[in-house]
């Protein structure tokens, strides 16, 4: 849906039903009237005009003297004036310009001797006494009233502009919702992949908008408020547009933050205006993106509550009232999207308002493959592009991430002047997104050696523990802000994390620091990100997952925490445990990290020669693929190494 209309600054050709663009029409009418009066009525009413330099006004006595002197050639007599031409150019007695025409006023009582005098001196005589015309008089009055008409027209245009602004300064009280009309090309369910269950739930809303009589006949009431819940990038907005595209109805789209202004009452006014426009255009869909911007719990205070902002509360109250104002016969559905349903006001979620929630989760492997097929549809793909393998290599990516991946691959191919997008372009695009752009940092030999041991430690520990994800690539080439990267590629999506898997992740994360200690005898700042990730994971295991023996199966985490790669600790959320319990939590986190550190060090000391071989290969080649790394380990150990309980051939087969 690339074509959009904006009620207050978008396409000027669109107006809501019943509204006409009278302002521009009035200006056009006034322009036509002015041109008509100047070029048509003026010459018609005033007749051919004479220039001031060619006509002189004579007194009646001077006029008679000129006749007697035979200097008058023609005369046109009317009821009050006489005009004509001189037979020879006329110059006033005192000097001055030369005139060829004259005019004079006749005596009111008339002059009986004028005509005989004119005939005696052979003056050509004509009369000008037309019959009065009603329409000509009306046009004359219209010409005289032209300035008044112009003032009235401008006053009307100004009043119209004032009515548009009556709800707020510069029209801020009007809704800024963008309208996607049903006549324009629009998104459909075919353009949305990876959310099969969500599309199934919304199909009922589409059916209601297409055929509302089917439900009214049985007395059924379709939910008028549907809340789309899911992480960022999962396609909530795209799915809402697809609902409108499938139903072929107008789609009013607005962000909740656009309701809130510094002026109190403006947000509530915009809510009313938006719902009035939707009702006038029904059947229609209202879509409010990021509804948590105005829908947070009222009266809770703090940065997560709406009690400290009167404007936000008034806007939310008006939204609740408008949601209650729908009649069963009105075919208007409100869709809203958020990734924070936990902060929404309960009054917003009660039955009759947003009583249906549709969850959009990150797509699984099959969903990612379907999404990739949608986004690569317009791309000329080269033979060998395996979307199934690409979907397997992108766990945890949202639909927006996959769209960006396809676009980056196309950009890579365009930079090289290729005719088609090749598999290497997708690999380079995936590395750029996950690892960052290739860096150009100049590292000394000592730094390169430290980075080689650091990344080799990560990779070797991942091969030695039984539950780590397979190593895809190890490189000491700077990528983004990293001096080197060890890249893992899970064999499949994980929905449930076992304790032994998380413990292995802790050991792998600390493998780089342990390798520096063993091989270099000193530690560096290169493990900063590793320590952050390990500490966050260990705290999540203790506070959220109940995986610490000291505390048992209890939950101490907050609503904003996430087990893997979340936002971390939120200081505004109240702690539901004592300071003594907090000390026990810190001790448990410290124990998990220390045990993982010691475990990684033990494994690396046992296989010191293999670590040295990996580091030397990295210094020589700079990048090792997963197969090359496994071959190196096998050659160094003359077969499968003495690993912890695991099977290296199985690890290789899973790649």
How far is it, in rounded angstroms, from Cα 118 to Cα 116? 5
How far is it, in rounded angstroms, from Cα 66 to Cα 86? 9
**Local structure of 427: helix, strand or coil:** helix
How far is it, in rounded angstroms, from Cα 32 to Cα 25? 11
- pLDDT on residue 327: 65
Token pair, residue 346, equals: 């309960």
**Local structure of 358: helix, strand or coil:** strand
Q: Residues 308, 256: contact at Cβ < 8 Å?
A: no
Q: Residues 236, 360: contact at Cβ < 8 Å?
A: yes
Q: Can you point out the beta strands (E) in 435-573?
A: 471-475, 485-488
Tokens 């001096």 locate to 483
Terminal-residue alpha carbon distance, the chain: 40
552-570 tens-digit pLDDT: 888 887 544 455 554 444 5
Q: Can you point out the beta strands (E) in 256-295?
A: 284-289
Check 311, 455, 549, 554 and give the catalytic one. Answer: 455
Token pair, residue 451, equals: 């980075």
Token pair, residue 356, equals: 């249906």
204-242 tens-digit pLDDT: 778 877 777 777 777 776 677 888 888 888 888 888 888
Query: Is 455 part of the annotated catalytic residue set?
Result: yes
- pLDDT on residue 639: 55
486 DSSP β-pair partners: 474
Please provide residue 55's backbone torsions phi and psi, each rounded to the nearest 5 degrees.
-130, 135
- pLDDT on residue 163: 61
Token pair, residue 394, equals: 């992108």
Q: Residues 171, 177, 178, 183: is their CA dihedral positive or negative?
A: negative
Nearest C-alpha neighbor of 6 from the set 253, 179, 165: 179
Q: Can you point out the beta strands (E) in 91-144?
A: 99-105, 124-127
56 DSSP β-pair partners: 102
Q: In what order do the strands lie in the sheet with 81-90?
A: 55-58, 99-105, 81-90, 72-77, 124-127
Give the CA-trace dihedral at 435, 436, 437, 439, to 10 degrees. -80
For 256, counting Cβ atoms within 10 Å of its Cβ (0-12 exposed, 13-18 middle, 19+ buried), the class is buried
Nearest C-alpha neighbor of 118 from the set 143, 165, 82: 82
414-456 tens-digit pLDDT: 988 888 999 889 888 888 887 777 766 667 888 889 999 999 9
Phi-psi region of 619 (alpha: psi -120 to 50; beta: other; left: phi over 0): alpha
- pLDDT on residue 35: 60
DSSP state of 5: E
For 636, counting Cβ atoms within 10 Å of its Cβ (0-12 exposed, 13-18 middle, 19+ buried), the class is middle
Q: Can you point out the beta strands (E) in 72-120?
A: 72-77, 81-90, 99-105
DSSP state of 563: T
Tokens 């991946």 locate to 405
Residues of the chain with pLDDT under 70: 1-53, 129-144, 161-186, 221-222, 259-267, 299-311, 325-330, 439-442, 480, 558-574, 637-655
On the question of a cis peptide bond just before residue 251, with omega within 30 degrees of 0, the verdict is: no
CB-side exposure of 85: number of CA atoms within 13 Å?
8
Give the H/E segment covering residue 625. strand 623-625
Cα Rg for the chain, rounded, in angstroms? 43
**Local structure of 381: helix, strand or coil:** strand
């Amino acid at each position: 849906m690339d074509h959009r209309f904006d009620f207050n600054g978008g396409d000027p050709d669109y107006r809501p039903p019943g509204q006409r663009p009278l302002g521009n029409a009035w200006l056009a009418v006034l322009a036509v009237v002015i041109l008509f009066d100047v070029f048509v009525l003026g010459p018609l009413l005033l007749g051919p005009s004479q220039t001031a330099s060619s006509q002189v006004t004579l007194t009646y006595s001077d006029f008679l003297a000129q006749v007697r002197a035979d200097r008058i050639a023609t005369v046109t007599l009317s009821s009050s004036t006489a005009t004509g031409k001189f037979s020879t150019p006329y110059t006033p007695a005192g000097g001055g310009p030369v005139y060829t025409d004259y005019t004079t006023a006749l005596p009111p009582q008339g002059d009986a001797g004028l005509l005989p005098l004119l005939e005696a001196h052979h003056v050509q005589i004509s009369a000008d006494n037309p019959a009065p015309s009603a329409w000509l008089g009306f046009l004359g009055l219209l010409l005289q009233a032209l300035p008044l008409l112009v003032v009235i027209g401008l006053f009307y245009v100004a009043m119209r502009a004032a009515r548009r602004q009556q709800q707020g300064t510069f029209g801020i009280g009007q809704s800024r919702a963008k309208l996607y009309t049903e006549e324009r090309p629009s998104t459909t369910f075919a353009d949305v992949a990876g959310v099969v269950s969500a599309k199934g739930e919304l199909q009922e809303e589409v059916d209601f908008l297409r055929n509302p009589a089917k439900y009214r006949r049985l007395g059924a009431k379709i939910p008028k408020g549907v809340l789309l819940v899911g992480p960022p990038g999962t396609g909530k907005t795209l799915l809402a547009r697809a609902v409108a595209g499938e139903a072929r109805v107008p789609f009013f789209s607005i962000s909740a933050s656009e309701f809130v202004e510094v002026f109190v009452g403006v947000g509530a006014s915009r809510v009313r205006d938006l719902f009035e426009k939707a009702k006038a255009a029904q059947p229609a869909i209202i879509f409010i993106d990021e509804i948590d911007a105005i829908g947070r719990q009222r009266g809770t205070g703090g940065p997560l509550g709406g009690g400290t902002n009167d404007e936000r509360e008034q806007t939310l109250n008006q939204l609740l009232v408008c949601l209650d104002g729908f009649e069963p016969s009105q075919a208007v559905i409100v869709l809203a999207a958020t990734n924070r349903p936990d902060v929404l006001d309960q009054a917003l979620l009660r039955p009759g308002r947003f009583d249906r929630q549709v969850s959009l989760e990150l797509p699984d492997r099959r969903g990612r493959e379907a999404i990739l097929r949608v986004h690569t549809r317009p791309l000329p793909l080269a033979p060998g592009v395996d979307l199934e393998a690409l979907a397997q290599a992108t766990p945890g990516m949202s639909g927006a991430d996959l769209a960006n991946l396809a676009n980056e691959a196309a950009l890579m191919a365009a930079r090289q002047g290729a005719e088609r997008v090749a598999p290497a372009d997708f690999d380079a695009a995936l590395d750029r997104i996950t690892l960052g752009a290739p860096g150009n940092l100049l590292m000394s030999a000592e730094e390169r050696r430290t980075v080689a041991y650091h990344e080799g430690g990560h990779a070797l520990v991942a091969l030695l523990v039984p539950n780590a994800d397979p190593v895809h690539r190890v490189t000491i080439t700077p990528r983004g802000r990293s001096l080197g990267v060890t890249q893992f590629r899970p064999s499949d999506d994980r929905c449930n994390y076992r304790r032994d898997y998380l413990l292995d992740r802790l050991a792998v994360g600390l493998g780089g620091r342990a390798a520096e200690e063993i091989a270099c005898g000193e530690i560096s700042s290169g493990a900063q990100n590793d320590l952050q990730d390990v500490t966050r994971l260990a705290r999540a295991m203790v506070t959220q997952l109940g995986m610490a023996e000291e505390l048992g199966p209890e939950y101490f985490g907050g609503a904003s925490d996430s087990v893997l790669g979340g936002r971390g600790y939120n200081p505004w959320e109240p702690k539901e445990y004592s300071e003594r319990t907090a000390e026990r939590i810190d001790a448990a986190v410290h124990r998990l990290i220390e045990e993982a550190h010691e475990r990684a060090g033990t494994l690396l000391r046992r296989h010191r020669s293999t670590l040295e071989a990996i580091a030397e290969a990295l210094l020589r080649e700079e990048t090792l693929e997963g197969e090359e790394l496994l071959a190196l380990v096998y050659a160094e150990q003359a077969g499968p190494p003495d690993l912890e309980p695991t099977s290296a051939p199985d690890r290789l087969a899973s790649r």
